[in-house]
Amino acid sequence: MTKINSIYEPVIALAKEAGALQKARYRKTGLMVETKSTAVDLVTEVDLACDALIVQRLKQLFPDDRILSEEQGIQPHDTDNHSEFQWIIDPLDGTTNFSVGHPIFAVSIARWKNDLPEFGVVYVPMLDELYVAERGRGAYWNEQPLKCSTESLLNRSVLATGFPYDRATAENNNAENARVMIPLVKGIRRLGAAAYDLCLVAAGVYDAYWELRLAKWDLAAGRLMIEEAGGTFWCSEEEGKYNVITGSKAICDQLHLLVDMRNSKGK
């Protein structure tokens, strides 16, 4: 049993419904794939269908709240809406994985109250893993409470990271950070789904995680999982993109000294 408020049950069901849609199209032929900000930033018809489903349903469930989704942006009717609640949606996190038939991808839905996440759900359809968190009420993996790592030694740590979509042109594409880290740690992972990476930090699977230039929808739910699981979450925002260092406090303190966060944008 979780302590999550029952008003969020339909949203948890919605995350699973979108996940089922993704599972039904997994490794099927004829998938429509297009590019967005760069040649490696992809969107598929399944991203669009899941985004449309989630936005439409949230409008019905929480008509007074604002909505920001990756594929639709801010809803037009929200320009005059000053509600303190906003839903932040990544309908399919890990589109590259999904498009090539790699099983790590997820649905991420979060409700923020002003500048803080209030509720989050991340569902990983191919693993049937469900992560939920609510501020003050804990974070759960398939109903079991989550607890972040308290590891303090880098050489006993497994870390995760990722590489931004402007990596072909940006001066700082995180490759040098990974090169510096590899000899210092027990292991380093790059799964390709930031929302799920953050859940694995909350679960204590990864001792820490860093990434440059994430979007708000990548971290909107995962941040709360980590905070409710007792971990440290740090991020800096620049032009709507977020550099993140999160996990065990002792390891994060060391990452702050090692990770070059210079935010050089692609040309």
Query: Footprint of ligand IPD on this chain (CB under 6 A)?
Result: 90, 93-95, 162, 164, 192-194, 211, 214-215, 218
Query: CA-CA distances (angstroms) from residue 253 to 63, 114, 231?
Result: 41, 27, 12
Tell me the β-bridge partners of 88.
68, 110
Residue 192 Cβ, how far from Ca ion at the closest point, in Å?
10
Stretch that binds Ca ion, among 2-10, 82-90, 221-229, 240-248 (CB under 5 A): 82-90
Structure token digits, residue 224? 């709360």
Task: Give 65 or 90: the residue with its C-beta nearer to Ca ion.
Answer: 90
Size of the site for Ca ion (CB under 5 A): 5
Task: Give 19 or 138: the residue with its C-beta nearer to ligand IPD.
Answer: 19
Taking the C-alpha atoms of residue 20 and residue 240, their distance in angstroms, rounded to an integer, is 30
Tell me the β-bridge partners of 73.
69
Residue 222 Cβ, how far from ligand IPD at the closest point, in Å?
10
Residue nearest to ligand IPD (CB): 162
Residue 103 Cβ, how far from ligand IPD at the closest point, in Å?
14
Q: For residue 197, state whether it binds Ca ion (rule: CB under 5 A).
A: no
Stretch that binds Ca ion, among 56-64, 65-73, 226-234, 240-248 (CB under 5 A): 65-73
Contact 135, 224 (CB under 8 A): yes
Contact 123, 130 (CB under 8 A): yes
162 binds, among Ca ion, ligand IPD, none (CB under 5 to 8 A by kind): ligand IPD
Residue nearest to Ca ion (CB): 93
Task: Give 113 or 265: the residue with its C-beta nearer to ligand IPD.
Answer: 265
E strands in 11-105: 33-35, 42-44, 66-69, 73-74, 85-93
Structure token digits, residue 171? 């001066």
Q: From the list 90, 151, 227, 228, which residue makes contact with Ca ion (rule: CB under 5 A)?
A: 90
Taking the C-alpha atoms of residue 129 and residue 137, their distance in angstroms, rounded to an integer, is 19
Taking the C-alpha atoms of residue 18 and residue 203, their distance in angstroms, rounded to an integer, is 23
Cα 59 vs. chain centroid, distance in angstroms? 22
Sign of CA dihedral 107, 241, 167, 191: negative
Task: Give 41 or 253: the residue with its C-beta nearer to Ca ion.
Answer: 41
Q: For residue 93, state whether it binds Ca ion (rule: CB under 5 A).
A: yes
222 binds, among Ca ion, ligand IPD, none (CB under 5 to 8 A by kind): none
Residue 45 Cβ, how far from ligand IPD at the closest point, in Å?
15
Stretch that binds Ca ion, among 62-70, 109-117, 132-140, 184-192 (CB under 5 A): 62-70
Task: Give 54 or 148: the residue with its C-beta nearer to Ca ion.
Answer: 54
Taking the C-alpha atoms of residue 193 and residue 99, their distance in angstroms, rounded to an integer, is 13
Taking the C-alpha atoms of residue 218 and residue 91, their distance in angstroms, rounded to an integer, is 10
Contact 86, 92 (CB under 8 A): no
Q: For residue 71, state whether it binds Ca ion (rule: CB under 5 A).
A: no
**Can you give the binding site for Ca ion, defined by CB under 5 A?**
70, 90, 92-93, 218
